[in-house]
């Protein structure tokens, strides 16, 4: 029922925003709900990474029908955090700031009530150790779990953390 589009591994192979936009269109036409990955390569102290996120969002989502946004999930997947340990993941506070920024950019393209309800999940070094705090204080709707999904115990702990948050 879902299709992950724009994953960092596909982007590393040369997939760009125009490719992702076309895949969203085709997924929606086929009745699939797109999970669209966005994320910066580096997080700088000056906030330049926000321009990268804003540009990606606007390039990917411009021109979609309002009804399409109700079927889309955004996965915030910062490349600098992928495959790292708990200490290298984004903090809950920084995650919440980024989620608010994504919603602000989406509000410039959709009515605010749609942007507020848009599911945003996190996919950067989610572990059983940080899942609860990220879910509770990060402003997200869920996770896009990578390598931790290979360990059933850890994956179960992440799922339980979402339920507790």
- Do residues 32 and 2 make contact, with C-beta atoms less than 8 angstroms apart? yes
Report the alpha-carbon distance of residue 107 to residue 104 in Å, rounded: 5
Residues 6+ apart with CB under 8 A from 29: none
Position 85 scores a pLDDT of 67
**Residues belonging to the active site:** 7, 77
Residues of the chain with confidence (pLDDT) below 50? none
Distance of alpha carbon 104 from its chain centroid, rounded? 15
| Cross-strand partners of 36 | 5, 74
**C-alpha to C-alpha distances, 113 to 65, 104, 136, 144, 148, nearest whole angstrom:** 15, 11, 22, 24, 33
- Residues of the chain with pLDDT > 70: what percent? 98
Q: What is the mean pLDDT of the chain?
A: 93
Position 147 scores a pLDDT of 86
């Amino acid at each position: 029922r879902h299709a992950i589009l724009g994953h960092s591994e596909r982007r590393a192979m040369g997939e760009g925003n125009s490719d992702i936009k076309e895949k969203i269109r085709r997924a929606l036409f086929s009745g699939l709900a797109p999970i669209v990955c966005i994320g910066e390569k580096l997080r700088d102290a000056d906030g330049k990474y926000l321009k990268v996120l804003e540009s990606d969002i606007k390039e990917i989502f411009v021109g979609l029908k309002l009804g399409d946004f109700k079927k889309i999930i955004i996965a915030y997947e910062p490349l600098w955090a992928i495959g790292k340990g708990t200490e290298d993941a984004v903090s809950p506070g920084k995650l919440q700031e980024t989620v608010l920024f994504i919603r602000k950019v989406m509000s410039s393209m959709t009515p605010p009530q749609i942007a507020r309800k848009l599911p945003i999940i996190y996919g950067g070094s989610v572990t059983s150790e940080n899942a609860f705090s990220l879910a509770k204080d990060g402003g997200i709707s869920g996770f896009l779990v990578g390598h931790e999904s290979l360990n059933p115990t850890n994956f179960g702990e992440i799922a339980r953390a979402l339920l507790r948050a």
